Chain A
Amino acid sequence: MEIDPFIFRLSIFILSIFIGYYVVWSVTPSLHTPLMSVTNAISSVIIVGAIIAALANLDGTIFTSSSLFGYLAITLAAINIFGGFLVTQRMLAMYKKKKKDK
């Protein structure tokens, strides 16, 4: 008997939770704010679904009720992706070590 592909996805999901658990515990507390902004940015990979929704059945009509939601979601996710990564970059650039010869 074949295994339902759902089970594979569930396995990936569960294992990723464990990876997340160990990886996040190793994040230094001083970087918890950048952690939040970067998780924000990466969770916007939901844009993948938004693009599929926007470009679904292009039989001439570009804006259907379902593609419209896709386009809106693209915009929201894009705000997050650009905003999230850039603000993280901006924050991380500020973390500096003590200058030795001072």
Chain B
Amino acid sequence: MISANLSAIFYLISGVLFILALRGLSSPETSRQGNFYGIIGMVIAITVTFLSIGNFASGFIYVLIFLLAGGAIGAFIAFKIPMTAMPELVAGFHSLVGLAAVFVAISAFINPQAFNLGSPGDIKLASLIEMSIGAAVGAITFSGSIIAFLKLQGIMSGAPITFKGQHLLNASILVSIIVLTYLLCVSQSSNLFWLLIAISFLIGFLLIIPIGGADMPVVISMLNSYSGWAAAGIGFTLENTALIITGALVGSSGAILSYIMCKGMNRSFFNVILGGFGATEQSTKETNKEQRPVKSGNADDAAFLMKNASSVIIVPGYGMAVAQAQHALREMVDTLKKNDIKVSYAIHPVAGRMPGHMNVLLAEANVPYDEVFELEEINNDFANADVAFVIGANDVTNPVAKTDPQSPIYGMPVLDVEKCKSVLFVKRSLSPGYAGIDNDLFYKENTLMLFADAKKMTEDITKNL
């Protein structure tokens, strides 16, 4: 058994290693080392916990069994999961952190002596507040992530679910959580504690159902942030530095990602959270626009255009992930490169269903990361490029965002695809994208629509090159 001071120092060390783990992600070269620091930090934290308990002879074996059982499941999932399912996986993992936080809080509430927090019915006030925050935020994270998971997985429709009085209901539940926490602190009643957890589960569920599928990048980042705050809440209860540091890191990380995603859509955080975006509002405007002429072509035309180009910019979007077209795309690009055509990739911040989604898929298809560029880096290059190849993206290329103040996406940063000499737009039909608005790009003089499945079309183009 080691002293409390010594174990606190080790927890601090593991906290620092976690900071280094995130720090490593500033570039792909250092990132693998960063991940390694994270693993070391975790090993230290777990080992020190065992050592600080000391007297654990018989229970130790059970802890090990549960630990390894969970570990085996986790490892299995990590190796089996396809890269296109990464958003679902992350949402699923968030839900587990949330539920673990709830369980730890429950355990601390039932048996406060184990954590030096007082005795049942007489828990220290500060600990009780921290515990309640940890449990409530954890429960919200859990049920919110489950909904996000179901929507991403397609088990639940990605369409926003809205009903009358929704915001009023949510607001009153949030208020009642605060009131309940107060009452709990006054009475120490276990019934109130259970009720608090129950309605926190409920509000997590209600908060996410009105948010549509393409807003998931914000939702996932937000839940990421919540899982951090839940961990920090528990960290305060347990007086554990590693947990407090980690919770703060994860909390701010998720918050920054949400901010970046909202900025990528030019929408306020509250606008996203209140939900219902892109549901039906635009239907009237669309009907009188429908009859505009569109130029459509086949793989042969597309191959011809690209063969005569000297530079091509590829704009991938969620559709590429759905069609699993990333490998076919890379093969096409390889062929282009053999013909001395310069190819680069342009990624919009909100392309896909989570931050960095497209980058991972391209990396999976062996696309070198120094050919992949962010919006600000590449946007000026469109004017000098010969062909833009839009595959599975839609709203993020819509020039309306720059020209029509009436449009719901007005002001959103978009890729200046229309400045290219010609645009190839792979899409299954003319249907509008997530925002529910028509893409002006379809009707431009220099746009050629390629109506087909993204993967099939890409393969056909490669054959014709």
Which residues of the partner chain B approach A87 to less than 8 Å between Cβ atoms? Answer: 77-78, 81, 86, 89
Those of A21-43 within 8 Å (CB) of chain B: 21, 23-43
A86-102 contact mask (Cβ, 8 Å, vs B): 1 or 0: 11111111111111000
Distance in Å: Cβ of B315 to nearest Cβ of chain A: 15
Total CB contacts across the A-B interface at under 8 A: 383
Tell me how many residues of A have a C-beta within 8 Å of chain B. Answer: 83
Distance in Å: Cβ of B110 to nearest Cβ of chain A: 4
Distance in Å: Cβ of A5 to nearest Cβ of chain B: 7
Which residues of the partner chain B approach A46 to less than 8 Å between Cβ atoms? Answer: 97, 100-101, 104, 231, 234, 243
Tell me how many residues of B have a C-beta within 8 Å of chain A. Answer: 117
Which residues of the partner chain A approach B97 to less than 8 Å between Cβ atoms? Answer: 40, 43-44, 46, 76-77, 80
- Residue of A5, A62, A84 with most partner-chain B CB within 10 A: A84
Main secondary structure of the interface of B (DSSP, over half): helix
B251-285 contact mask (Cβ, 8 Å, vs A): 1 or 0: 11110110010000000000000000000000000
Which residues of the partner chain A approach B256 to less than 8 Å between Cβ atoms? Answer: 21, 24-25
Q: How far is the CA of A66 from the CA of B246 in the complex (A)?
A: 25
Q: Does B210 contact A (CB under 8 A)?
A: no
Q: Does B184 contact A (CB under 8 A)?
A: no
Which residues of the partner chain B approach A12 to less than 8 Å between Cβ atoms? Answer: 241, 244-245, 248
Q: How far is the CA of A39 from the CA of B104 in the complex (A)?
A: 19
Which residues of the partner chain A approach B89 to less than 8 Å between Cβ atoms? Answer: 37, 83, 87
Distance in Å: Cβ of B449 to nearest Cβ of chain A: 29
B: residues with CB less than 8 A from A are 11, 14-15, 18-19, 21-23, 25-28, 31-32, 34-35, 38-39, 41-42, 45-46, 49-50, 53, 55-60, 62-63, 66-75, 77-79, 81, 83, 86, 89-90, 93-94, 96-97, 99-101, 103-104, 106-108, 110-111, 113-115, 126, 220-221, 224, 227-228, 231-232, 234-254, 256-257, 260, 347, 349, 354-357, 359-360, 363-364, 366, 368-372, 374
A: residues with CB less than 8 A from B are 5-6, 9, 12-14, 16-17, 19-21, 23-58, 62, 64-67, 69-99
- Known A43-B227, A77-B97; 15 more pairs at CB < 8 Å: A12-B245, A12-B248, A24-B249, A27-B25, A39-B22, A40-B250, A45-B231, A57-B114, A58-B55, A62-B58, A66-B111, A78-B70, A83-B73, A83-B89, A84-B78
A-B residue pairs, 3 tightest by C-beta: A78-B70, A56-B114, A32-B356
24 A-B pairs within 8 Å (CB atoms) are namely A9-B236, A12-B241, A13-B236, A14-B248, A16-B245, A29-B347, A30-B28, A36-B356, A40-B97, A43-B250, A45-B242, A48-B11, A48-B49, A48-B238, A49-B243, A55-B63, A56-B114, A69-B104, A71-B63, A74-B66, A75-B73, A87-B77, A90-B78, A97-B368
